[in-house]
Amino acid sequence: MSENQSVSREVSYINPVEAFLYTIDEWCICVSVLADQKVRRSCFCTILPAASLLCVVFFIGSAYIAPDHKEKLSLWGITGSLQNFKLNKCENQCRPHGSETLPEGIVSKTSNLEMRPLWGFPEKDTNSSVNLLAVAVGIKQKDLINKMVTKFLSCNFKVMLFHYDGNVDEWKGFKWSDSVIHVSAANQTKWWFAKRFLHPDIVAEYGYIFLWDEDLGVDYFHPERYVSVIRSEGLEISQPALDPQKSIELHHQITARGRRSIVHRRIYKPGTNGKGCDGSSTAPPCTGWIEMMAPVFSRAAWRCVWYMIQNDLIHAWGLDMQLGYCAQGDRTKNVGVVDAEYIIHYGRPTLGGMDRNKKNSSVKGQTSQSKNLTSREILVRSSHRSHPNDHRYDVRRQSYIELDIFRKRWNKSVEEDKCWIDPYQ
Ligand SMILES: *[C@@H]1O[C@H](CO)[C@@H](O)[C@H](O)[C@H]1NC(C)=O
Ligand SMILES: *[C@@H]1O[C@H](CO)[C@@H](O)[C@H](O)[C@H]1NC(C)=O
Ligand SMILES: *[C@@H]1O[C@H](CO)[C@@H](O)[C@H](O)[C@H]1NC(C)=O
Ligand SMILES: *[C@@H]1O[C@H](CO)[C@@H](O)[C@H](O)[C@H]1NC(C)=O
Ligand SMILES: *[C@@H]1O[C@H](CO)[C@@H](O)[C@H](O)[C@H]1NC(C)=O
């Protein structure tokens, strides 16, 4: 609310009902104002990628004039809506917060992850990256990551590795090491990194953002073909299907690969009292969502999802079911799973998972099958065991706590935002 209050302080209104544009923080926000000067509603303008900021001003009644300009106006005796409009065109240019004192052309609103030479200018790069792969990695998965990164680089992706185990130098052995971006922070999750290093303005150039786990096999996956499928199918949020034979365990039916389809957007499952899934289902878990293991977001969807990622909820549980709100339209159409290009989920223990060298002490009593499960899965299975060196239980408990907080926070936001309309209600 303090942001809104500052808006009220800094502007004055002449007409009872009017609307104006103003910038808050780095975002351009349209604010409609009523006669009592109470800010009733704010909304984000659409910020078009790679284009200048475009904001639409709705004039209801006549225009807004700042105090000093009001003076000038009366001095010059200029009246009429045309002049007002011109004046407002300058006044209301939607500038990123903090850049108002600069001429517009010098303001660089977005960036990218391209590396630049220390001297000289790069040749006109005809192969410049258009898509981005970001993976949280530990050195133990270097065999899988090597295959994955090699494949994506050959398709001209920009690649970013988030190191959670402090091992950065060990990757130097790979010849691609210097052409990817390394970010290191101890024991942080994929979502923690993504929130902090993949701000939509930083990755604004990339058409699709692949935010993947590290224990995935790409033998049957071709990044370029995948992108052409999701582009032609209009999938804003997607994931490759999981091979049900080779993958360790499927968490959700919707991720299982269909052998005869290119993509699928829903599952069919008998059930009573509307609990099943059929062709008329419109909501998760039947349709309109994917799992968070290998999500792929369009630029527009990522801009929305980034906002939904909470700074303090680093396991991001609960986000999957809400992805539909970022689908840029109908979630039953724009969210889907690609069967034609699929991956293998090896389910290796990763961040928060067990140390494989301590296997015999920390996972005593586990079935041998669980050797191949992910931390997530192991956590679910080892619910009652807690060992000093085994934090899987803690991670799992934390994930559930976060899920609960996220759901409550969502509900509270829905309750408090009187202007928000649930498109799926
Ligand atoms: C573009 O890609 C081609 C083939 O992959 C390569 O030979 C060429 O050097 C690349 N150009 C630049 C500027 O990277
Ligand atoms: C990261 O987590 C591991 C396992 O829980 C722990 O041993 C290690 O000290 C942590 N590292 C840091 C820098 O917190
Ligand atoms: C299993 O644990 C014992 C003692 O707890 C240890 O001596 C042994 O090296 C461990 N084995 C492996 C494979 O980690
Ligand atoms: C399961 O893990 C073991 C080693 O822990 C490995 O030898 C085996 O190939 C894995 N199975 C699959 C299906 O990945
Ligand atoms: C959030 O709201 C939904 C729908 O009103 C309700 O079913 C759910 O129990 C609520 N969740 C929490 C954690 O309050």
pLDDT for residue 187: 94
Pairs from 105-113 (Cβ < 8 Å, separation ≥ 24): 109/53, 109/201, 110/49, 110/50, 110/201, 110/202, 110/204, 110/205, 111/201, 111/202, 111/204, 112/158, 112/202, 112/203, 112/204, 112/205, 112/206, 113/158, 113/160, 113/181, 113/202, 113/203
CA-nearest residue, atom 1 of ligand 1? 127
Instruction: Please give the distance, rounded to the nearest whole angstrom, from the Cα atom of residue 233 to the centre of ligand 1.
Output: 29
Residue nearest to atom 5 of ligand 2 (CA): 391
Average pLDDT over residues 96-114: 92
Number of domains observed in the structure of the chain: 3
Q: Does residue 314 lie within any of the structural domains?
A: yes
Q: Which two tokens stand for residue 319?
A: 């986000």
339 and 384 part of one domain? no
Those residues with Cβ within 8 angstroms of residue 191's Cβ, 6 or more apart along the chain or in another chain: 309, 313, 314, 315, 316, 319
Residue 358: strand, helix, or coil: helix
Q: Are residues 164 and 288 in the same domain?
A: yes
User: What distance in angstroms lies between residue 271's CA and the mean position of ligand 2's atoms?
Assistant: 44
Q: Is the pLDDT of residue 227 over 80?
A: yes
Q: What pLDDT, on the 0 to 100 scale, is given for residue 57?
A: 35
- How far is 89 from 86, CA to CA, in rounded Å? 5
Residue 225 placed within a domain: yes
Query: Distance between CA 40 and CA 36 in Å, rounded?
Result: 10
Q: Examine residue 118 and state whether it is found in any structural domain, yes or no.
A: no
Query: In terms of domains, do 205 and 250 share one?
Result: yes
Per residue in 304-320, pLDDT (tens digit) is: 999 999 999 999 999 99
Residue 351 lies in a domain: no
Q: Which residue, judged by its Cα, is nearest atom 9 of ligand 1?
A: 127
Tell whether 149 and 208 lie within a shared domain: yes
Query: The domain spanning residue 295 has which CATH number?
Result: 3.90.550.10
- Ligand 2 — pocket residues by CB below 6 A? 186-187, 391
Query: In terms of domains, do 172 and 37 share one?
Result: no
pLDDT digits (tens, 9 = 90+) for 152-171: 999 999 999 999 999 999 99
Pair (339, 376) in one structural domain: no
The answer to whether residues 315 and 392 belong to one domain is no
**357 Cβ below 6 A of ligand 3:** yes
Is residue 372 in contact with ligand 4, taking CB distance under 6 Å? Answer: yes
pLDDT value at 335 more than 50: yes
Q: Would residue 424 count as lying in a domain? A: no
Answer yes or no: is 85 within a domain: yes
Specify whether 281 is located in the same domain as 402.
no
For residue 97, tell me if it sits in a domain.
yes
Residue 341 in any domain: the answer is: yes
Q: Please check whether residues 97 and 56 belong to one and the same domain.
A: yes
Residues 46 and 152 in one domain: no
Of 106, 140, 175, the position where a domain reaches its end is 106
The domain of 189 spans: 132-345
Whether residue 91 sits in one domain with residue 154: no
Single out the residue of 296, 43, 308, 326 nearest to residue 195, CA to CA.
308
Q: Are 145 and 183 in the same domain?
A: yes
